Amino acid sequence: MGILEVKDVGKRFGGLKALSDVNLSVAENTCHAIIGPNGAGKSTLLNCLVGKLIPDTGSVMFDGQSVLGRSPHEINQMGISRVFQTPEIFSDLSVMENMMIPLFARRDGAYRLHAYHSVLSEAELVTKAEQMLADVNMLDKRNMHTASMSRGDKRRLEMAMCLIQEPKLLLLDEPTAGMARADTNNTIDLLKQIKDSRNITIAIIEHDMHVVFSLADRITVLAQGTPLVEDVPEKIKGHPKVKEAYLGETAHA
Amino acid sequence: MNVRPDFSKNANHAETAPAFLSVWDMHSYYGESYIVQGISFNVHEGEILALLGRNGAGKTTTLRSIARLDDPQVNKGEIWLDHQPLHRMKSHQASVAGLGLVPEDRRIIPGLTVEENLQLAQITPPIGWSLERLYDLFPRLGERRKQEGVTLSGGEQQMLAIARALARDIKVLLLDEPYEGLAPVIVDEIEKTLRLIKEQGMTTILVEQNAVRALQLADRAVILDTGSIVFDGSAAEVLENEGLRAEYLAI
Amino acid sequence: ASHSGFTNAPGDSTVTLGFNVPQSGPYADEGADELRAYELAVEHLNGGGDGGMMGTFSSKVLDGTGILGRKVEYVTGDTQTKSDAARASAKSMIEKDGAIMITGGSSSGVAVAVQGLCQEAGVIFMAGLTHSNDTTGKDKKANGFRHFFNGYMSAAALAPVLEGLYGNDRKAYHLTADYTWGWTQQESIAAATEALGWETVNNVLTPLAATDFSSYIAPVLDSGADVLVLNHYGGNMVNSLTNAVQFGLRNKQVNGKNFEIVVPLFSRLMARGAGENIKGIVGSTNWHWSLQDEGSKAFVKSFGTKYGFPPSQAAHTCYVQTLLYADAVTRAGSFNPCAVVEALEGFEFDGMGNGPTLYRAEDHQCFKDVLVVRGKENPTSEFDLLEVVEVTPAAQVTYSPDNPMFAGGQLGSCNPGA
Amino acid sequence: MFGLQKKDTNLLLIVIALTMLAPFILNPFPTDSGLAQFNAGYPDLMQRFVIFGIFAIGFNILFGLTGYLSFGHAAFLGVGSYSAVWMFKLLSMNILPAIILSVVIAGLFSLLIGWISLRRTGIYFSILTLAFAQMSFALAYSVLTPITNGETGLQITLDDPRILGISQTADGSIPVTNLFGMEMRATTDLALGAWSFTFSMGYYVCAVLMILAFYMSIRIFRSPFGMMLRAIKSNQTRMNYTGLNPKPYTLAAFVISGMYAGLAGGLMASMDPLAGAERMQWTASGEVVLMTILGGAGTLIGPVLGAGMIKYFENIFSKINDNVLHTWFSFMPDGLENLMVGILHPFVGKGWHLTLGIIFMLVVAFLPGGLVEGGQRIGRMFGRKKPTDDTSAKTEPAE
Amino acid sequence: MDAILLQILNGLDKGSAYALIALGLTLIFGTLGVVNFAHGALFMIGAFCSVTLQRILNLSFETVDPTRTDFLGNPAVIKTPYVIDWFGESTGAAIIDWSVPLAILFAIPIMLVIGYVMERGLIKHFYKRPHADQILVTFGLAIVLQEIIKAFYGANPIQTPAPEALSGVVEVLPGILYPAWRVVYFCFSLVVIGAVFAFLQFTTFGMVVRAGMADRETVGLLGIDIDKRFTLMFGIAAGVAGLAGVMYGPINAPNYHMGMDFLVLSFVVVVVGGMGSLPGAVAAGFLLGILESFASMTWVIDLIPGINQIIIYLVAIIILLVRPRGLLGRKGVME
Ligand SMILES: Nc1ncnc2c1ncn2[C@@H]1O[C@H](COP(=O)(O)OP(=O)(O)OP(=O)(O)O)[C@@H](O)[C@H]1O
Ligand SMILES: Nc1ncnc2c1ncn2[C@@H]1O[C@H](COP(=O)(O)OP(=O)(O)OP(=O)(O)O)[C@@H](O)[C@H]1O
Ligand SMILES: CC(C)C[C@H](N)C(=O)O
Ligand SMILES: [Mg+2]
Ligand SMILES: [Mg+2]
């Protein structure tokens, strides 16, 4: 029994069947990649896991509990963090403040009125945030205003914000899109290290096959809203159906 | 008035063919931050130029400057497109003059359907590809034409952004990371398209993180680092030059 | 200067009065006219100009050397026709500018609020326009005086005229501005007309902020009433009257009689606003420039020469209040509010336009003749909008101080402040 | 000091110094000079400065931090005032119970309105708050007259019970508001040469409360709670996916700012025991919005500056009449004098609205960050570090 | 029954003023996204176009009539309007009589110019600025406009009567008499609303402006000069507000404050209608107008005291709680 169990999930948008009969089981402490053509329903599936969308049919169990019907913040409190396809960060806040908010959320739960504390008296959290920033190579930007950062930086920041929450399950929607090769490689290393050292389960959507094949323990290929195949990376690489629907001829991993 | 500046001073510029798009000593600022620090380069008619560099090197800033968007401000420098002084224009005039930009965050317009997003591009002449032809190129968009643009999947949005540029009759296509978020098959598809329109005479500047792919497609390459040009030459040269790749592209 | 035993005791050379009038908001025009009158009064007190009513005033102690030998200076403030703002403005005149007397205003709500403040602060309040019974009724204050008439007096003056014009068998529908003035005037008119035999069919309170009264007018058509009483003033009156005329009320026959509209309280400035619609409509007013007594003529001449148009009733009241105050101080020989109160209480005078007048000691209401007027059918000039139908003698509008409509408050004792 | 960063401590100390010395600072001109018109150091106006300062500080906690633009905050101020006056009528003229009740009632009222209105965001939220406030105003003006005394406003009278105090004083007057016997109306004058300064009990009570209110607002701005509020303004989606529920935070901010408004209302009634319905009208709500923006929304000191500026215009500029103008320019030849008076006439006295309108436009056009930005620019011009710095949060729209 | 019909008419009539003002406001606020607190002032200026034209038509030369005296006893000055002098008694008087409808012609160019100047000179710089700044600047502008009008025309209402022929009552339904001018106003508002809808419906203009609002930059990239269109949109909005004002004069005499009186209400109408929706604004305008009329009926007030004063706000609250984006609002506009 995996930490995340998706059973028979289906989702329609008007006449469009975005997802149908999706079954997925992610084992604890593994990295599970979801790939598939554009518009296959990958992001939709992710949205169903985090409470942004409610599936029409099926069930989603996380850590033995159903996530359906819970609001996004409750699901996050259960231990699921998500990185978005277009970075969602607090663009009026500094990098450091962006890091502090998830730390507070993790420590205090969904709501706690700390109206009289000073942020700066939380030395322990500050150290933690700095540590994390160092891990993603952003410590030098700690006081920067995030609105003026380049997009690659925003992505890394968002990832750091999610990681610092020490989630049980980390959902990544194309985390390296738009990242320079060097940073992509850093990210791969970072995720690998995290998975090993922190007991994290990762579900990742990615079109960069280099990333997918370096990280994934298992891969699900989604096409037109249904899983096409699910297997270990080696099998997927050569899979003819996958080649045709997704990888194409020139795909070099 | 439409006199072309003398580019012979540009040492990097050995080509003899006349430049179609010229950027000369361009300095761009976001407010007070000085980003693009005096770059000059030429693009020839019908060629694909790869504009490469690390995150934050200033690629997007360069493209936005050429497209004459309000931000960044170009405080100094000249940009000429086919004898027209772009640096004196606003973005909508640059567009009429023949420039098309596919922005990096796609910028699908909220509240409009896929089809409306495309129609919007055809309100002011010159009009380029017909909607049918665009739907032929990206059948996905045809299927989704009544859907609100921003609800498309990431990859579909990218297709829409490219289609929207082609919907206008443009001379120069500026692509800011067009492959991002696209399935490998689609990337192949788009690459084919780029080759196709190149054959029809399109001039293209391609910004791409996947440098190898970009270089395989491009004729020439310009590499930016912290707002300055560190290399201007043929694409093949970069592919061969191990040191250059390692230093500026980390590949 | 706080050792003289009362607030803002003036120095040896000047004395400061506070003119607190609406300079913005819907009554701004009245406020402007009030201010003109005040300036004229100050000019006259200081010995400038032609002296205006100082010559006709029955008390002769004013001699054009200011008040008790001090040159009169003044400060102005904006009430915005809001109780809060008016009070703030008056407060600053008292605290900042050292005003010893506050006067002005164009609304009963404001008058009541400012009067309360003056009482607390220990200065004299000479009310400007305020027509609510409450000002000298349940909200009366020892430090406050009113030279204007009130709802009760309007009713007392109007009732016989209405009887003569429209008979004893009438059904009246009241629209009433929803605040102290509207309520008390409505109560007074209803009582007076009911005494004639009229029936009050309905009374609808309308918000002060209302601008379109059509939805209040429409039900009138259905109610069986044959008289509409508009207890409205200012913009309210202009709009409700216009609406009523638009809906054809004036051309209607109900119960076999001509439908009539009554506007119990008129002013010329409002009549100008209402234009054609005012013609033939009866109401009451405190004073009108066409009065032919010596005082009125002197004032109209003085004012008209300076400003080029005749004064309004607002200007008249404010001018007179200023002279009355100066006179009281001079007669008392002191600026001490308590001395002034004493000098004004029970003071009888003449020559100020409405015939012999009494400032009654019990409630500080003044009693004088009331004018019943009618919108003129053929005005000869842009100022000639109202014709005086009747001058109701003071005796006929006088009521006893314990009249139930005025019961409830206490005058208290005069407060000289610090 | 005080558990604040150095920068904030300095700001607080400056504010303390300014408020405590206000009677001097606001009366810079000798009593007899022509410029004495511009003196603002009399009790009523000084009280207004700090009371509206409190109102605006509170409003800024909601608007400046979360970006939720309430257009109905005056309702809480009004409710506070009514509560206080009722306390004076029923209990005693001591302002302490009155103020406490004002804050509590305003808090409860804002809890109710906030709880409903915060179901919506952006303009929909603004209109909901506006609608509630306008309803309160209309009701206070009309059908609630037994409680509010309608348009005239609720006043204290000689026959109020005042069970813990006296109905009337020995000489038949209404007793005065006080704090354990210290009368709010009490003043002391100090004459120094040509200058004269007034120290008012009421002002110092208000000033101390404003300093406390300001101190609390600094604490809130610098607290995790304050950071959450800014995060809400910045990106609610990310907030949700970080495991945080924005609603209780915004509701808390709403109630806190409602209580600040209640405090301001209670103080207003304590300084001058009358509560009028107009102080609940949308124009009054709009005024605090304007104060906050004019001063610099989201900055610590801005709202206080904005409040001061608007109140200064309302009280000082509206008093400059032609007479005063003539005295100023009396040194000029007559023709010139009349010309100057003619030129200035439309802008002062009853034209003060015009000047205020123009100033609004000039400030937004040239100082996008409000008066605080003006202060910073001046500070920079003198090469110092900006004295009144504030959070890094920039003003953002109420999306 | 008659009373109810009459209140429906009344409501439609009130509603047409609300709808017209809200329509103009939606163009600026719901479409351009600018919180325009000066919109009421535009309405007011429209009404003063009538006043001004009336004044112009009444421009007179003066002759002294020694047989009569003025209030001070001096010989009276008689004024004769030039129009009467030029066109003769009857034509001249008719022109003056019809000054309000004539003012439409006079107001359209004026309002377009005002809209143009306002947009180019001021609003243009505020598209990208926070709404808070827009509120401050447009509120400042509203005050300035209002004070200017007050300086020229005073604070009291100025009568602008409807033409004689239209100032009586007409029988709209058997037995139901209704002021003719109000019927005219209702029809007029329908025409204006129809014209604006047609313009936006049958051209791409509406779509382009919406797109421009959502993302100016990208629209510029597509070769569209969005500034020009924003200006035009603003001009149309100002024109609609102005026309609403011109024709409103005979219903309620214009005063300098009338804009502020309508301002808050028109924001409520726009938002209840739903941000960005023109049909929403119009529907909400009529709905609230009718409800307001009903709430001021005697028996309703007797039933629920004070309801007439709060009905609009109460309904607004209920609608916004039941329908998150008002009647027909679009997603994402100013949320
Ligand atoms: N709100 C919506 N309304 C209508 N259709 C939608 C909506 N959201 C998504 N879709 C459609 O559902 C399909 C699946 O979208 P989804 O975003 O899940 O794709 P994806 O697999 O993440 O693709 P990509 O790799 O391109 O991001 C797409 O065709 C998309 O157009
Ligand atoms: N709006 C802005 N305001 C201020 N600085 C900005 C802004 N946008 C970008 N920058 C800065 O300009 C620099 C260049 O950014 P640009 O987006 O051009 O880089 P890029 O080469 O396109 O990078 P990437 O590969 O991440 O897209 C970066 O340092 C970035 O922080
Ligand atoms: C101005 C007054 C004569 C009438 C005014 N409305 C009042 O309240 O008294
Ligand atoms: Mg996706
Ligand atoms: Mg880029």
Q: Is C129 touching ligand 3 by the criterion CB < 6 Å?
A: yes
pLDDT in tens, E8-59: 888 998 899 999 999 999 888 877 888 889 999 999 999 999 999 999 998 8
B60 CA from centroid of ligand 2 (Å): 7
Relative to beta strand A65-66, strand A57-62 is antiparallel
The pLDDT value given to residue D187: 86
Asked whether E37 and E144 are in contact (CB, 8 A), the reply is no
Query: What band does B18 get if pLDDT is binned at 50, 70 and 90?
Result: low
The CATH homologous superfamily for domain A4-90+152-247 is P-loop containing nucleotide triphosphate hydrolases (3.40.50.300)
Query: Count of CB atoms within 10 A of residue D146's CB?
Result: 7
Beta carbons of D393 and A50 less than 8 Å apart: no
ipTM: 0.89
Helix (H, G, I), strand (E, B) or coil at D40: coil
Alpha helices (H) in chain D, listed in sequence order = 6-20, 22-25, 43-66, 74-90, 95-117, 122-141, 145-148, 201-222, 224-234, 236-240, 246-271, 282-295, 302-315, 322-328, 334-344, 352-366, 371-381
| E118: phi then psi, degrees, rounded to nearest 5 | -65, -40
**Residue E129 lies in domain:** 2-54+104-322
State both tokens at D50. Answer: 């700090």
Distance from D368 to chain E by nearest Cα, in Å?
7
Calpha distance B82→B44 (Å, rounded): 10
Q: Look over chain E and give the mean of its residue pLDDT values, rounded to a whole number.
A: 88
Rg (CA), chain B: 18
Q: How many structural domains comprise chain E?
A: 1
| Selection from C170, C223, C224, C173 nearest residue C197 by Cα | C170
Distance from E221 to chain B by nearest Cα, in Å?
6
Please determine, for residue C124, whether its predicted confidence score (pLDDT) is greater than 50: yes
Residue nearest to atom 7 of ligand 2 (CA): A148
Assess if residue E116 is contained within a domain: yes
Query: What band does D384 get if pLDDT is binned at 50, 70 and 90?
Result: low
**Higher pLDDT, residue D129 or C92:** D129
Please determine, for residue E232, whether its predicted confidence score (pLDDT) is greater than 60: yes
Query: Count of CB atoms within 10 A of residue C380's CB?
Result: 12
Give the highest mean pLDDT range of C76-80, D75-79, E277-281: D75-79
- Based on DSSP, count helices (H) and strands (E) in chain E, helices before strands: 13, 4
Helix (H, G, I), strand (E, B) or coil at D371: helix
Which residues on chain E are in Cβ contact (under 8 Å) with B92? Answer: 219-226
Q: Which residues contact D11 (CB under 8 A, 6 or more apart)?
A: D218, D300, D301, D387, D388, D389
Pocket test for ligand 2, best of B55, B177, B208, B223 (most atoms within 8 A of CB): B55
Nearest to D132 among E267, E275, E317 (CB): E317
Nearest to D319 among C76, C109, C413 (CB): C76
Q: Touching check for C214 and chain E: CB below 8 Å?
A: yes
Q: Burial letters for E10-20: b for 16+ Cβ neighbours within 10 Å, e otherwise?
A: bbbbbbbbbbb
Helix (H, G, I), strand (E, B) or coil at C262: strand
> What are the Cα distances from residue C100, in Å, to A22, C12, C33, C323, E286?
86, 14, 22, 14, 54
The pLDDT value given to residue D204: 95
pLDDT in tens, B198-238: 998 899 999 988 888 899 999 999 999 989 999 898 988 88
Give the highest mean pLDDT range of C288-292, C317-321, D338-342: C317-321
Q: Is C268 touching ligand 3 by the criterion CB < 6 Å?
A: no
Choose the weakest-confidence range: C81-85, D367-371, E246-250.
C81-85
Number of the ligand 2 atom closest to the C-alpha atom of A180: 25
Looking at the CA of A53, which ligand is closest? 1
B130 CA from centroid of ligand 4 (Å): 27
Pocket test for ligand 3, best of C176, C231, C233 (most atoms within 8 A of CB): C233
Asked whether A238 and A230 are in contact (CB, 8 A), the reply is no
Angle between helices A151-163 and A181-198 (to 10 degrees): 0
Interface of C with E in 31-70 (CB under 8 A): 32
Query: What band does D386 get if pLDDT is binned at 50, 70 and 90?
Result: very low
The pLDDT value given to residue B251: 67
Q: Let me know if chains A and B touch, i.e. at least 3 Cβ pairs under 8 angstroms.
A: yes
Asked whether C112 and C139 are in contact (CB, 8 A), the reply is yes
Q: Is A41 touching ligand 1 by the criterion CB < 6 Å?
A: yes
Closest-approach residue (CA) in chain B for E226: B92
Q: Name which of D242, D259, D394 to mutate to probe chain A: the one with the most chain A Cβ atoms within 10 A of its Cβ.
A: D242
The pLDDT value given to residue B224: 92
| Selection from C45, D189, D351 nearest residue E152 by Cα | D351
Structural domain boundaries of chain D?
6-17+39-167+175-280
Beta carbons of E71 and C218 less than 8 Å apart: no
The CATH code of the domain that includes E265 is 1.10.3470
Instruction: Provide the CA E277 distance to its chain's centre, in angstroms.
Output: 18
Beta carbons of E253 and C238 less than 8 Å apart: yes
The pLDDT value given to residue D392: 38
Query: What band does B17 get if pLDDT is binned at 50, 70 and 90?
Result: low
pLDDT in tens, C343-397: 999 999 999 998 999 999 999 999 999 999 999 988 888 888 899 999 999 999 9
Number of the ligand 3 atom closest to the C-alpha atom of C106: 1
pLDDT one digit per residue (tens) for chain A, 253 residues:
789 999 999 999 988 899 999 999 999 989 999 998 888 899 999 999 998 899 999 999 999 899 998 999 999 999 999 998 778 899 889 999 999 999 988 888 778 888 788 877 788 888 999 998 988 888 888 888 888 887 778 888 998 999 898 899 999 998 888 777 778 888 888 888 888 887 889 999 998 888 999 999 999 999 888 998 888 888 888 888 888 777 766 544 4
Cα angle B189, B191, B196 (rounded to 5 degrees) comes to 95
Q: Let me know if chains A and D touch, i.e. at least 3 Cβ pairs under 8 angstroms.
A: yes
Assess if residue E47 is contained within a domain: yes
Calpha distance D214→D210 (Å, rounded): 6
Asked whether E221 and B96 are in contact (CB, 8 A), the reply is no
Structural domain boundaries of chain A?
4-90+152-247
Q: Is B65 touching ligand 2 by the criterion CB < 6 Å?
A: no
**Which subunits sit against C, judged by 3+ Cβ pairs under 8 A?**
D, E
Which residues on chain D are in Cβ contact (under 8 Å) with C39? Answer: 323
E240 CA from centroid of ligand 1 (Å): 41
Q: Let me know if chains C and A touch, i.e. at least 3 Cβ pairs under 8 angstroms.
A: no
